[in-house]
């Protein structure tokens, strides 16, 4: 084991203030239409697709976006951060930019719901929600999850949105996306959603039955911030076949398999340029050789410590005070180190193969 690693370095606003925000988005929206939707929702991946509005006008029977949530439509990332500063750090793992996952995290935390920092790409939020105790069904305050390619979503990352209002069978969602760069809204059917989409909500919420009116319902705008543990769930494709790993916890004293699940989630959320089979295999190989993915791996001949074998181990304090026992903290530090020094796990592995350290 070599470890010559060098140093690298809501509060909610009052309801009156919220209502005063400038509304720039379209509030009368139609169901998903082939002629009115972007080629894919860009919120779950980086993209150069031009910003566009997918609203095409309300079809017969569609309702008008109403209630206090509607004032959020059209707000940009800076405005949302200013509105809910207490959640910025928690949801910062869903980056870069106005990702669909970042918006879903910020909005769900504002609603007082337990959403983890590493729920994965948009398409993975259904499974992550299920593992966190959520149940399937449409209800105000829940989420709508899009499988990759469904309803125009990214063919790689899928999409996730927040259920804001239900009028009969009409579901209004709010959603983020780097292609929009602001809060967007559309409507779908509660009883007959597009193929590949599902609705999820916390187990203690009451599912809305089509036919019941929930117009303007927004029941938890003043809910306090939650500080519950991280929840992650990942199913990952690699060149060597399908690797499935699931984990629910905050990273403290995680097993090697749990640590790998955390790493997959962090890459999917914050280092998406590495979200490929090649890069994952390189990272898995690298840290298997360095530490066996053990949080307490301690090099007997040096002060190197932890999963990434930081030298000395206390360097990882820059990522969190719990660096000695928390795999998530160690992984966060290690990914940052690889990015700053080598640019990618594959490059770090290549260096290791030549020098037997990285």
A 10 A CB-CB count for 163 gives: 24
Q: Which domain holds residue 47?
A: 15-201
Do 121 and 258 reside in the same domain of the chain? no
Residue 261 within any structural domain of the chain: yes
48-69 per-position pLDDT tens digit:
222 233 333 333 345 777 778 9
Same domain (yes/no): 62, 177:
yes
Residues 24 and 80 in one domain: yes
Residue 132: which CATH number?
3.90.1720.10
Q: What is the pLDDT of residue 179?
A: 79
Q: Which two tokens stand for residue 238?
A: 């690699």
Q: Based on the domain organization, do 167 and 244 belong to the same domain?
A: no
Which pLDDT belongs to residue 300? 82
Q: What is the pLDDT of residue 205?
A: 66
Residues 115 and 238 in one domain: no
Q: What is the pLDDT of residue 63?
A: 72
Q: For the chain, what is the domain count?
A: 2
CB atoms within 10 A of CB 337: 23
Under 8 Å between Cβ of 43 and 182: no
The pTM of the full predicted model, rounded to 2 decimals, is 0.47
Walk along the chain (358 residues) in steps of 10 and give the mean pLDDT of each run.
40 37 34 34 33 33 74 92 92 87 95 90 91 93 93 87 94 90 92 94 64 31 28 32 51 89 83 87 93 92 93 92 93 93 94 91
Whole-angstrom CA distances from 105 to 128, 129, 175, 354 are: 12, 12, 11, 42
pLDDT of 332: 92
Q: What token pair was written down for 298?
A: 């301690």
Q: What is the pLDDT of residue 152?
A: 83
pLDDT reported for residue 311: 94
* Residue 32 included in any domain: yes
Q: Are residues 70 and 157 in the same domain?
A: yes
Q: Are residues 192 and 313 in the same domain?
A: no
Q: What integer pLDDT is reported at residue 193 of this predicted model? A: 93
111 occurs within a structural domain: yes
Asked if residue 158 and residue 111 are part of one domain, the reply reads: yes
């Amino acid at each position: 084991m070599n470890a010559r690693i060098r140093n690298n370095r809501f509060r909610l606003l009052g309801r009156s203030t919220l209502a005063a925000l400038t509304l720039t988005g379209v509030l009368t929206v139609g169901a998903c239409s082939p002629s009115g939707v972007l080629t894919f929702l860009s919120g779950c991946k980086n993209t150069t697709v031009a910003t566009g509005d997918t609203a095409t006008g309300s079809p017969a029977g569609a309702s008008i976006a109403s209630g206090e949530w509607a004032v959020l439509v059209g707000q940009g990332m800076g405005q949302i951060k200013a509105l809910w500063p207490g959640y910025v750090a928690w949801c910062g793992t869903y980056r870069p930019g106005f990702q669909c996952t970042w918006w879903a995290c910020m909005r769900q935390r504002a609603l007082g719901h337990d959403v983890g920092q590493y729920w994965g790409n948009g398409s993975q939020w259904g499974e992550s929600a299920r593992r966190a105790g959520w149940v399937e069904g449409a209800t105000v305050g829940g989420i709508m999850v899009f499988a990759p390619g469904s309803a125009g979503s990214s063919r790689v990352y899928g999409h996730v949105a927040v259920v804001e209002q239900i009028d009969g069978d009409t579901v209004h969602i709010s959603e983020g996306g780097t292609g929009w760069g602001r809060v967007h809204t559309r409507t779908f059917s509660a009883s007959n959603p597009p193929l590949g989409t599902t609705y999820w909500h916390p187990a203690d919420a009451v599912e809305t039955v089509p036919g019941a009116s929930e117009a303007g319902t927004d029941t938890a705008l003043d809910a306090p911030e939650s500080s519950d543990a991280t929840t992650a769930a990942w199913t990952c494709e690699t060149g060597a076949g399908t690797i499935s790993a699931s984990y629910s916890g905050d990273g403290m004293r995680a097993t090697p398999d749990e640590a790998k699940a955390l790493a997959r989630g962090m890459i999917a959320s914050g280092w998406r340029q590495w979200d490929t089979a090649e890069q994952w295999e390189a990272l898995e190989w690298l840290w298997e050789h360095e530490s066996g993915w053990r949080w307490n791996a301690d090099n007997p001949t040096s002060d190197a410590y932890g999963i990434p074998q930081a030298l000395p181990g206390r360097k990882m304090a820059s990522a969190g005070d719990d660096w000695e026992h928390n795999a998530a903290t160690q992984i966060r530090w290690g990914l940052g180190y690889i990015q700053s020094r080598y640019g990618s796990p594959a490059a770090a592995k290549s260096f290791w193969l030549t020098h037997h350290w990285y």
